[in-house]
Structure 1
Amino acid sequence: MFIHSRFVIVDDKETHLDGIKKSLDFLRLDCHSKLYSDETVADWQKLPGMRILFLDQNLITGATFGGETKVAFAALADVVFKLVCPESGPYGLILWAEQPDLEALKDSFFERFTGEDAQLLPVFFTSLRKGDYINTNTGEIVDAQKLQVDIQDRISQSPQLNALLSWEADVSAAMDAVLRSVVNLIPDDDRASDNFGPELGKVFYRLSQAGAGIERATESPREAINRVLVPILADRIIEHDPSSGNNFDWQTALVDPTESPSVPAQASVNSAIHLSFARSEGSAPIKATDLGAVVQIPDNDVSGFLAGQFGLTEAEFLAEIFKVNEEEWKDCRARMVQIGAPCDFAQPKPGPLLYLFAVEWPFANSDGCKNQGADPKRNLSVDTKRKPKDLEWQSPILQFEDGLNAGRISIFKNLAISITRKDAEESLTPLYRFRDEIISQITHSYSRHISRTGIVTLPER
C-alpha cells in the first residue's frame, strides 16, 4: 500500500549515517538508512523501490580500496546481494569516497555478479565526498543544497537512468493528479465532517458502476474502477508539458544500435509490450475467462479436440489449414485464445465466451534462421514460406516460455468455439494473456472475417 524509500544509505559510522539522513530530510527526500556491521548485515531484508544506493567505500575497518581490496569489495557486494530487489527496477550506486577507484569496483562487481545475479547490478557507478555535505567528525550538516545539486549532476551522467527516473516522476505526478481529481468530487462542505469517508465511498461506487455496469458495481470493484482511472492516468502522463522547465531531453538517452535487432531482442520487446504472465509479486492471477487469455487445450488432447469441436483430423488440420509437416508440428503447441469486445468483458452479459483455436510455433533455431539444409523437415523460421492466409492471424515474434526459441502464434478465425464461463473456469488452464491492444486487433480481424460479403457472378473468360 505504501511507497518505499527511493534513497538507501549504508554506512558503518552512525554519525555519518545520521548526517546524510538529516541532509536528505532537509531536502524533503525520504530515505532508508542502514548501519553496517558484520553481525547485522546477515539479517537484512531486500528493500523494494530503491533508486539510489549510497555505499561507504570502507565498510570494514582496515579494509580499504588501497589495501585489502578483496575484503572491501566483498563487503560492498554483500550489501548489494542483501538489499537490492531486482523486481523493483533500476538503481544507481553512489560511493562515498575521498579517493574512489570506481573502475576497480566495477571490475569486481562485473566478475562477481554474473548470470541471473547480473540483475542486481546498478545502471551506473559514481562517487561523492561526504565532507562536502556534512562534518565528518560531528555529522552536522554543512551544505545540503550542494548534495542535491551533486546527486542530480551524477544522475545526469547516466542519461538512460535519468530518463527512467524522469518518467517515474511523471507517473508519480500523474498519479497525484488522478487521486486529487477523485477526491475533488467530494463537496467542500462534506470534507470538514465525518461524511468525508462515506462520500468518497459513494464516488467509488459510481466509478465502479461506470466501469462494470449499473448492476455490477460490487462484483469486482477494483477491476471496474481501474477501467475508469487507468485511461485517465495514462492521459495525465502523456500530457506532461515539455516546456514546463521540469523536463528531460529523451534524445540524450537514445543510442542508435545501427544494426537490425536480433530475433531474441525482437521477441523480448514484443513480449513485454503484448503479453502478460502476471508473474510480479502481488499480481492478480490470470483467469481463463479474462479477455485475451491464452489457455491450454483440455487434457492436452489435440486430436480429440480438433475432431470433437471442428470435425477435423490432425492430418487434415496440418495439410489444409496450418500447412506444416509432422516434424515441424512436434515443436508446436495448440492453444485457445479468448476474444471479444472490451465492453463485453468489462460489463459481462449472460451467455458463453468465444475462443479461437491457436498454435504457438517456435522457430527451429534461436536466431530465427532456417536450418540451411541440416534438417529440412523442421524448418520453421522468421522467413518461412507459411505466410498467413485469410483464415489465419499471425502474431509478431514473441517469447512464450523461458528456455524455448522465440516464435509466433497463429490464430485461426474459422475455428471458433463457445464455452460457458463455468466450464471455462473449471476445465481451462490459463498460461498468459494478450494485452488490450493486440487482442483488439485479433477481435477486429475475426469480426471482419465473419462479416465479409460476397456476390454471385458469372466467371469471366
Structure 2
Amino acid sequence: MFTPARYVIVDDNPDELKQLSDCMQKIGAPCLPLRYDQAEGIETKHLGGVRLLFLDLHLTTGAQSGSIAQTAGLIVSMLEEGIVATAGPYVIILWTKHQEQKADFEAYVMENLEPLKRPLAILSLDKNNYLAGDAGEKLTNDVGQIIETDPRLRALLDWEREVLRAAGSTLSEIGTLVAKEDRTAARFSERLDEILSLLAFEAVGDANAKADPYSAINAALMPILTDRIANQRTDPKSNAIWQAAVTKIAEVPQPSPRDAAKLNSMLHIARASTEALEPGAWGAVTLLPEAELVDDVMIKRFDLPAKPMLAGTFCLTDKAERSASRLCLLRIGASCDYAQSRKGPVPFVLGAIIPAEAKRREGLPKAEIVTPPLIIDGFDGPVRMIFNTHLQISLVPTEFAAWPALCRLREPLLMQITTYGARHATRPAIISFGSHGG
C-alpha cells in the first residue's frame, strides 16, 4: 500500500544517523533512517525503491583498520539482497569519516555487485566536517549540493517528481467530482466509490469492471495521467535541469546493434516476467508449441505446410538462421473488443521471430511487416519479428489458453502492425486497359 522510501540512511551510530536524517527533513526530502545492528543488520526490503542511499562506510566495530573488502563486502551483500533491479537507478552517498577509502570502496562495489544492481554513481560526504558544534546548516547545504552533483540523477529525480505530481493532480481531479454537500464523514467515501464505479463501468463494461476493477479504472485515468505528465511542467528550473543532463543531442552517439535492439525493446516490448501476461491479451506474442508445428495442423489453419514455412512464407535463405527462428502468433483485433472481453473467436496473425540480420531472398511479400531489432527473452542476440498480415486466423480460448505468452507488443508498435494489416486487406483494385500503341 505504501510507496517504498526514496531516501534511505544506514548508519550504526544513532547520533550520526539522526543528524543526517534531520538534515534531510529540513531540505524537504523525507527519508527513512535505518540503524544498522551488528547482529541483525537491517531489513533490506526497505532498499527496494531507493533513489539516494546514504551509507556509513564502516557499519561494524573494528572494521576501520582492516581491508576494504571486509566493510565493502558487507555492504555489497546488503545491496544484493535489498536492491530491486527493476526499481530504477539509485546513487550511493557515503556518509563517512574515511574519505580516503572511497575509491577502493567504489572499485570493490563495481566489481562485485551484480551489474543490474550497481549504483549510477558513488558520491561522499565527510562526517568530520559536521561533527563539531552546530553544523546543521552546513550539512543541509552540502547535502543539497551533492544531490545536484550528477545532472543525470537530478533529471531523473525531476521526472519522477513530475510523474508523482501528475498522479496527485489526477487523483485530485477525481476528488473534485464529489460535491461539497457530499464531503461528509458519512458520505464522502461512498460517493467516491460511486464515481470510481461509474468510470470503471464506462471504460470496459459491467462484466470486465467487476472482474478487474483496477484495470478498468486504469483504462479511464491513464489518458488523463499521460496528458498531465506531458503538459504540466511549470517549474522554471526544470528546463535548466534537463539541459544540463541531456547534452549530446547535437552529436548523438550511434548505438551498437545490440544497444539499438535494447532501446527498441524498452519502447515496444513488455516482458512476460514483468506482468501477468496471458496469450489472449491484446498484443501478446506466443510461440507456437511443437505440437502445433505439424503439417496437418498448419495446413488446416493456414493452408500451408509447416516445414517449408520459414524458407517459403518468411523467405529465410540460410539453414542455420532458419534453425534459430521460431513461428509465433500475435494477438490482434479491436482494442475495445479486448477491453470488453467480447465473447467469440480471438483473432491472431502468424509471424516469425528471426535473427535481426538474417539473410532473406528478394521480392518479399507485400503483406508482411517487420519490426525493428529487438531483444527477446529466450533468443540469442537481436531479433526481428515478421508478421504476414495475410495469414490471420481466429481461435477460441480453449485452443490457446495453455500456451505460454512470450511477451507483449506495446500499443504503438501493435497499432502500426494492425493498421498496416487493415490497409493491406482493404487495398482497392480496378480493371483498366491501355492502348498497345506508342
Query: TM-score w.r.t. structure 2 length?
Result: 0.89
Structure 2: runs of 5+ lacking an equivalent? none
Alignment of 1:324-363 (within 5 A): 324-325=316-317, 327=319, 328-363=321-356
Tell me, in whole angstroms, the C-alpha distance in 2 between the residues paired with 1:8 and 1:146.
Answer: 20
Tell me the secondary structure at the aligned position of residue 314 of structure 1.
coil
Question: Is 1:159 aligned to residue 151 of structure 2?
Answer: yes
Question: Is 1:47 aligned to residue 42 of structure 2?
Answer: no
Aligned to 1:393: 369
Aligned to 2:108: 108
Judging by fraction of residues, say which structure has more helix: 2
Tell me, in whole angstroms, the C-alpha distance in 2 between the residues paired with 1:68 and 1:310.
Answer: 67
**2:23–2:140 contact (8 Å) kept in structure 1:** no
Aligned mate of 1:294, from 285, 292, 295: 285
**1:15–1:136 contact (8 Å) kept in structure 2:** no
Aligned to 1:118: 115
Alignment of 1:256-267 (within 5 A): 256=248, 259-267=253-261
Tell me, in whole angstroms, the C-alpha distance in 1 between the residues paired with 2:410 and 2:93.
Answer: 37
Please list the CA deviations of residues 102-152 of structure 1 after superposition, one character each: whole Å capped at 9, or x if unmatched: 322222222323xxx02222111111134555x569xxx742x54443233
Tell me, in whole angstroms, the C-alpha distance in 2 between the residues paired with 1:48 and 1:259.
Answer: 32
- Runs of 4 or more off by more than 6 Å in structure 1? none
Structure 1 107/60 Cα, relative in aligned 2: closer, same or farther at 3 Å? same
Tell me the secondary structure at the aligned position of residue 279 of structure 1.
helix
Tell me, in whole angstroms, the C-alpha distance in 2 between the residues paired with 1:387 and 1:397.
Answer: 21
**2:272–2:406 contact (8 Å) kept in structure 1:** no
What's the CA shift for 1:390?
A: 1.1
What's the CA shift for 1:445?
A: 0.7
> Which residue identity is paired with 1:458?
F
**1:397–1:408 contact (8 Å) kept in structure 2:** yes
Structure 1 429/127 Cα, relative in aligned 2: closer, same or farther at 3 Å? closer
Question: Is 1:414 aligned to residue 386 of structure 2?
Answer: no
Structure 1: runs of 5+ lacking an equivalent? 369-379
Query: TM-score w.r.t. structure 1 length?
Result: 0.85
Aligned to 1:374: none
Please list the CA deviations of residues 285-333 of structure 1 after superposition, one character each: whole Å capped at 9, or x if unmatched: 1112211111132544323332111221235534542222471322210
What's the CA shift for 1:349?
A: 3.1
Please list the CA deviations of residues 156-192 of structure 1 after superposition, one character each: whole Å capped at 9, or x if unmatched: 2211111211111111111110111111111122112
Structure 1 195/136 Cα, relative in aligned 2: closer, same or farther at 3 Å? farther
Please list the CA deviations of residues 39-94 of structure 1 after superposition, one character each: whole Å capped at 9, or x if unmatched: 22287445211111111133233333x76433333333343334323222111111
Percent identity, aligned pairs only, is 27
Tell me the secondary structure at the aligned position of residue 313 of structure 2.
helix
Tell me the secondary structure at the aligned position of residue 260 of structure 1.
coil
**1:46–1:82 contact (8 Å) kept in structure 2:** no
Tell me the secondary structure at the aligned position of residue 54 of structure 1.
strand
Tell me, in whole angstroms, the C-alpha distance in 2 between the residues paired with 1:228 and 1:42.
Answer: 40
Question: Is 1:252 aligned to residue 244 of structure 2?
Answer: yes
Question: Is 1:186 aligned to residue 162 of structure 2?
Answer: no
What's the CA shift for 1:458?
A: 2.8
Structure 1 399/216 Cα, relative in aligned 2: closer, same or farther at 3 Å? closer
Alignment of 1:4-15 (within 5 A): 4-15=4-15
Tell me, in whole angstroms, the C-alpha distance in 2 between the residues paired with 1:147 and 1:238.
Answer: 35
What's the CA shift for 1:274?
A: 0.7
Tell me the secondary structure at the aligned position of residue 109 of structure 1.
helix
Aligned to 1:277: 271
> Which residue identity is paired with 2:287?
Q
Tell me, in whole angstroms, the C-alpha distance in 2 between the residues paired with 1:386 and 1:338.
Answer: 28
**2:4–2:46 contact (8 Å) kept in structure 1:** no
171-180 or 19-28, larger mean C-alpha shift:
19-28
Tell me, in whole angstroms, the C-alpha distance in 1 between the residues paired with 2:32 and 2:289.
Answer: 50
Count of matched residue pairs? 431
What's the CA shift for 1:246?
A: 4.8
Tell me, in whole angstroms, the C-alpha distance in 2 between the residues paired with 1:28 and 1:243.
Answer: 16
